[in-house]
């Protein structure tokens, strides 16, 4: 990876060497920072968090090895290159013990300097690529654990957590909440007659339609193969809950055109509120489910409210 992608901190007390290194590397890196001793270098590192550090060893106030050791305690992955004549074995052994990533003999060989910097930049690039891939994989695993693959809505696990939090908030802040369950009628028949790809398109279309009337995506969930849920909080009145349940029953019954075929879709809707019509989380779920069952008994494609 190119040096231009990284920032560099150079620590050296000799003005001539400072000027030379800035001329050599200043335009090669994204940002070039300089410090006169280890103390300044450590402060600048904490402020700027550079990607690469190059430092002399022998400096006043704090030497390069002390600074390197302190930096490695802050972030052990930061590559540090030290410059020295390496005529003291104890210093060399100490540098190895700290975990120094490169050694640059003095007087500085320019070609060796660039080779070492390129090597460090390449290693950093590989590390960052690995970190990016790991973050992507972790995000993918998190999505699988929390979101439905077909509709991209939050799944049952997310729903259970959101329901618990909403009930707790009602108890804490003394407001109401509503729970609406939406069941896709005859979903198995749709899959059997039209195929699973068509069934998936029905679910995606249904998800979009629900979100047309419930714009807050965080309150809509797919909690089963053919069942969705909406958490309405805070709930202003039972009438608000009934109006939304009625609207959902209307918008979730439609004909879907799929490859020159018409797929009839209808949903039953059941709703309940807390704490007005239920006294705890278990009752809220049970009563909403009972209302949904009554809607199915009532001819499907309709809504019922827990009374």
Write out pLDDT tens, residues 27-62. 999 999 999 999 999 999 999 999 999 999 888 899
- 130-173 pLDDT, tens per residue? 788 888 888 777 777 788 989 999 999 999 999 999 999 998 99
Question: Distances from the Cα of 130 to the Cαs of 104, 136, 179, in angstroms?
Answer: 27, 10, 43
The DSSP result for 263-277, as a single string, is: EEE-EEEEEEEETTS
Q: Which fold has domain 156-305?
A: Alpha-Beta Plaits (3.30.70)
Residue 19 has pLDDT above 80, yes or no: yes
CATH code linked to domain 3-142: 3.40.50.2300
Round the average pLDDT of the chain to a whole number and report it: 89
* Total-model pTM: 0.62
pLDDT tens digits for range 54-109: 999 888 899 999 999 999 999 988 999 998 766 666 777 787 788 888 888 888 88
Q: Rounded to the nearest 10 degrees, what angle do helices 64-74 and 89-98 cross at?
A: 10
Distance CA 14, CA 167 (A): 66
State the Cα–Cα distance between residues 225 and 112, nearest whole angstrom.
Answer: 63
CA–CA distance, 268 with 300 (Å, rounded to integer): 5
| Integer angstrom CA distances of residue 32 from 3, 6, 109 | 11, 9, 20
CB 41 within 8 A of CB 13: no
How far from chain centre, in Å, is Cα 195? 34
What is the residue extent of each domain of the chain? 3-142, 156-305
Structure confidence at residue 89 (pLDDT): 67
Q: For the residues 236-252, what does the mean pLDDT come to?
A: 93
- What are the phi and psi torsion angles at 68 (to 5°)? -60, -40
- pLDDT, residue 43, reads 95
The pLDDT of residue 128 is: 83
Token digits of residue 117 = 């910097």
Rounded Cα–Cα distance for residues 77 and 69 (Å): 12
Give the list of residues 6+ apart from residue 219 with CB closer than 8 angstroms, or none.
Answer: 162, 230, 231, 232, 233
CA dist 221 and 68 (Å) reads 51
The whole-angstrom separation of Cα 134 and Cα 30 is 25
Backbone angles phi, psi at 149, to 5 degrees: -65, -35
Residue 221, burial from CB neighbour count under 10 angstroms (0-12, 13-18, 19+): buried
Spatial separation of the C-alpha atoms in residues 270 and 296, rounded to whole Å: 9
Residues with Cβ within 8 Å of 73's Cβ and at least 6 positions away in sequence, in order, are none
- 210's CB contacts (< 8 A; 6+ apart) are 182, 220, 228, 230, 248, 251, 252
Instruction: Using a pLDDT cut of 90, give the percent of the chain over it.
Output: 59
The tally of CA atoms less than 13 A away on the side-chain side of residue 39 is 4
């Amino acid at each position: 990876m190119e040096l231009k992608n990284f920032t560099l901190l150079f620590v050296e007390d000799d003005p001539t060497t400072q000027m030379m290194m800035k001329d050599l590397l200043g335009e090669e890196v994204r940002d070039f920072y300089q410090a006169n001793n280890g103390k300044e270098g450590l402060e600048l590192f904490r402020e700027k968090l550079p990607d690469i550090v190059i430092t002399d060893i022998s400096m006043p106030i704090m030497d390069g090895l002390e600074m390197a050791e302190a930096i490695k305690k802050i972030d052990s992955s930061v590559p540090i290159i030290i410059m020295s004549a390496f005529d003291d074995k104890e210093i060399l052994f100490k540098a190895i013990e700290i975990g120094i990533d490169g050694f640059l003999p003095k007087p500085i060989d320019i070609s060796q300097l660039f080779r070492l910097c390129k090597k460090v930049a390449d290693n950093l690039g590989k590390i960052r690529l690995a970190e990016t891939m790991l973050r992507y994989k972790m995000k993918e695993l998190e999505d699988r654990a929390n979101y439905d693959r077909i509709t991209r809505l939050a799944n049952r696990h997310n729903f259970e957590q959101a329901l618990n939090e909403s009930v707790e908030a009602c108890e804490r802040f003394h407001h109401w909440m509503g729970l609406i369950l939406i069941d896709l009628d005859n979903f198995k028949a749709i899959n059997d007659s039209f195929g699973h790809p068509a069934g998936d398109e029905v679910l995606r279309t249904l998800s979009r339609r629900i979100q047309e009337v419930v714009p807050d995506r965080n309150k809509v969930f797919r909690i089963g193969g053919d069942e969705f849920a909406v958490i309405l909080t805070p709930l202003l009145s039972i009438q608000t809950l009934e109006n939304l349940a009625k609207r959902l029953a209307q918008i979730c019954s439609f004909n879907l055109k799929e490859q020159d075929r018409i797929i009839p879709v209808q949903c039953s809707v059941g709703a309940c509120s807390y704490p007005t019509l239920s006294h705890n989380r278990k009752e809220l779920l049970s009563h909403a489910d009972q209302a949904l069952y009554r809607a199915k008994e009532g001819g499907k494609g309709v809504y019922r409210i827990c009374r």
